[in-house]
Amino acid sequence: MRILVINPNTTASMTQKIAAAAADAASSGTEIVAVNPDSGPPSIEGYFDEAFSVPGLIDEIRKARAIDAYVIACFDDTGLDAARCIAEAPVIGIGEAAFHMASLVAGRFGVVTTLSRSVPAIEHNLVRYGLASRCAKVRASDVPVLDLEAPGSGARERISGEIRRAIRDDRAEAIVLGCAGMADLASALSHEHGVPVLDGVACAVKLSESLVGLGLKTSKSGGYAAPRNKQLSGAMARFSPGGDKDSPKAGEALGSHPTS
């Protein structure tokens, strides 16, 4: 099977780190294809960045061929619902994947993410996924996303300190790392703190393999139905479901449904 792992920010070094973590988790016979868009924010920190990373994400899904499952490698599960509308194959967000897996190995888990501005979106997702009662607390380590790419930034030490507080003060029994850029830290931090420390990229790859193995795909009977054909205007015209009628490449349909 082929899994497309999409880092919705534009930082290629982070995509390489994500690709390595995904390949480590993948079973033999699973091919990992890791990409990032070339347009959008270099890091996603909060709602504004998130909004401007979605078109690039949609572009990568639209460009891809012969994919059995998609992984959105941004902990906010950026554009997850929109992606499920246009993709036939299952789409897994690393946040949702890690929350589900953590709830299978611990009564209560903690999340340690980057900046405090990223916390509300994660808390909202926990409620949306019905897992808020299993999460002790979402903590920020005050590490900007791109500090995770900068050796000597002290990012790892600050994340480790926040994990210590989550275990001591929140009674977290497992820790979910709240950024795809932390994917390479999970096993060392788990060893250091003596509790399961989960990386969402690995969790999403394993869940994708399970869904594909069971032949399960996203239901198209409700909210994830393909978008209806319509002409989007201006800079968004090229995303028109059913194809951009004004472009020379008219007819290049973005997965769409003419009627419902």
Interacting residues with ligand 5HY (CB under 6 A): 9, 43-45, 74-76, 113-114, 118, 145, 179-181
Residue 11 or 208: the one with the smaller Cβ distance to ligand 5HY is 11
Least distance in angstroms from the C-beta of 133 to ligand 5HY: 22
CA distance 36 to 28: 24
Least distance in angstroms from the C-beta of 113 to ligand 5HY: 5
Backbone phi, psi, residue 108, to 5°? -145, 140
Three-state secondary-structure class, residue 175: strand
Which H or E run includes 188? Answer: helix 186-193
Residue 43 or 240: the one with the smaller Cβ distance to ligand 5HY is 43
Report residue 93 as tokens: 């967000």
Q: Which one, of 102, 22, 104, lies nearest residue 69 by Cα?
A: 22
Q: How far is CA 255 from the centre of its chain?
A: 21
Beta-carbon count within 10 A of 4 CB: 25
Residue 57 or 136: the one with the smaller Cβ distance to ligand 5HY is 57
Least distance in angstroms from the C-beta of 182 to ligand 5HY: 8
Residue 53 or 240: the one with the smaller Cβ distance to ligand 5HY is 53
Least distance in angstroms from the C-beta of 152 to ligand 5HY: 20
